[in-house]
Amino acid sequence: MNYKKLGNTNLEVSTICLGTMTWGEQNTQEEGFEQMDYALDQGINFWDTAELYAVPPREETYGHTEIIIGNWFKKSKKRDKVILASKVAGPMRAYLRGGGNNYGIDKITQAINDSLKRLQTDYIDLYQLHWPERNTNMFGRLGYEHKENGEWNKFEDVLGNLKRFIDAGKIREIGLSNETPWGVSKYLELSKEKDLPRMMSIQNPYSLLNRTYEVGLAEISIRDKIGLLAYSPLASGYLSGKYRNNQLPKNSRIERDPDFWTRYAKPNTEKAVDAYYEIANKHGLDLAQMSLKFLEIQPFVTSVIIGATTMEQLKTNIESVNINLTDDVIKEINNVQTIYPNPCP
């Protein structure tokens, strides 16, 4: 396994991060336990979850993933072996603390305390804001329309709220998710100006089908030491190749919840995936491993968040750390990006 520092901290996190959002929906607790045992044995010390999980988010399964992780901590007695990341949800439906914004002191206090209880731990290593409260582009939405109306907590107030829990020892570090270059820069600026806690990571989508992070945010990640935690690195499974030739494997995400996973069902998705498949096939590589390794070697990436529903998928994805991409492979990957630029932004 490979490791990198989280932001400018002394925390060394594995460059493969164990994603967990299927536990409690597509995966049982027993399957989640098996994944955690195996990942830890392979040197993965970094796990990512969220209060909102399992996904697709439903009131009936809210918090179930954290409960599964907490039960594993209780059983295994290995909490100290894991650098654990979780998230507080952005503006949400009524079933979550009455709906609306969640980063004010009362709601974020409840969110943190409830997560700690479900996780059966005294602290969370990295606590992230799952998405912005303000109106902005996220989750693949293009065509930014600026709106001044709408209430959202000031960034300095949010940082001040989080500081209370850092001082209390309930969270160690903080990070962002689904954030824009303006949002990241503003948080970093206010942290420095007002001597407030500093964001250490950005969890945004990044894959061979969506390299928009490279515009703007990649430079911020390198210059300001706030690396990317790349989520959806296989584009909901499209970059494993399992949906090629109109295949729809039973119990796959797209087969189970087609109306939720629409982000990657775009006009040029199939053409781009086929092109990447040909590169992998030509060079004797597994498509999923090639796709993951390309992300891992980027200098602005801290860790790649993998999510698997089967042990076979998990083992394949973790093994990606041990492959090498030649200059020719990288050149050919970049050529496909030129032909089909970001088909799934």
Q: What is the pLDDT of residues 136-188, one digit of tens each?
A: 988 888 888 888 877 999 999 999 999 999 999 999 999 999 999 999 999 99
Q: Which domains does the chain show, CATH number per domain? A: 3-339 (3.20.20.100)
pLDDT in the model for residue 134: 94
Q: What percent of the chain has pLDDT over 70?
A: 100
> Which pTM value belongs to this model?
0.96
Peptide bond into 56 cis (omega under 30): yes
Average the pLDDT over 309-318 and give the result: 97
CA distance 33 to 86: 18
Q: What is the pLDDT of residues 13-32, one digit of tens each?
A: 999 999 999 999 999 999 99
Q: What is the DSSP string of 314-326?
A: HHHHHGGGG----
Q: What is the pLDDT of residues 58-108, one digit of tens each?
A: 999 999 999 999 999 999 999 999 999 999 999 999 999 999 999 999 999
**Known catalytic residue: 206?**
no
pLDDT in the model for residue 65: 98
Q: Which amino acid is at 176?
A: L
Catalytic residue among 3, 38, 53, 213: 53
Among 159, 156, 170, residue whose Cα is nearest residue 119 = 170
CA distance 228 to 211: 12
Q: Which residues of 102-132 are buried (b: 16+ CB within 10 A; e: fewer)?
A: bbbeebbeebbeebbebbbbebbbbbbbbbb
